[in-house]
Amino acid sequence: MRQPVSYIKQTRDLYDSLGYEPYSWFEAETEPDFVKPKKPLSESKLGLVSTAGTYVAGQVAYYYKDDTSIRAISKNTPVSDLRFSHVTENYLGDAREDPCCVVPIEALQTLESDGTIGGLAENYFSCMGGIYSQRRVRDELIPTLDEAITNEEVDVLLLVPL
């Protein structure tokens, strides 16, 4: 069985190996408050966001880096139709081998059908996590994702990083 990946360490090591100027990592000044869900998971609609640069065959792939666009992925999309385009191409092997490791469509469908989750959003969303501009993430990506997620009227959101 594979061990969990230390994503932040792995990403920092990658950037260091590429010889870039020190990257200005965002660090929150305070810990976010815990927000108790308003209703049980079995009565909640769940949404998903993946930062793996996931798109569906036929959609436009993500640009190599600094692409702040998002892609909607129908909850009924066959796993075989999922594709990936990301600045960290060398980390996509696992996702291409098993797309469900970053977009767990089949597991979520099972949780919905057995009643663990009250329902699933009609669309999941993906973006590329490799955006070097904090300003563009804040001013472009986050507002677009926020609007898309709000339109899905989800109660809880699962974030799956690459």
Where do the domains of the chain lie?
41-160
pLDDT tens-digit series, residues 48-100: 999 888 899 999 988 877 889 999 999 999 989 998 886 665 556 666 777 77
d(CA 115, CA 123): 19
What does the pLDDT read at residue 10?
74
Query: At residue 52, what are phi and psi to the nearest 5 degrees?
Result: -90, 10
> Which residue would you say has higher pLDDT here, 14 or 147?
147
Query: At residue 151, what are phi and psi to the nearest 5 degrees?
Result: -65, -25
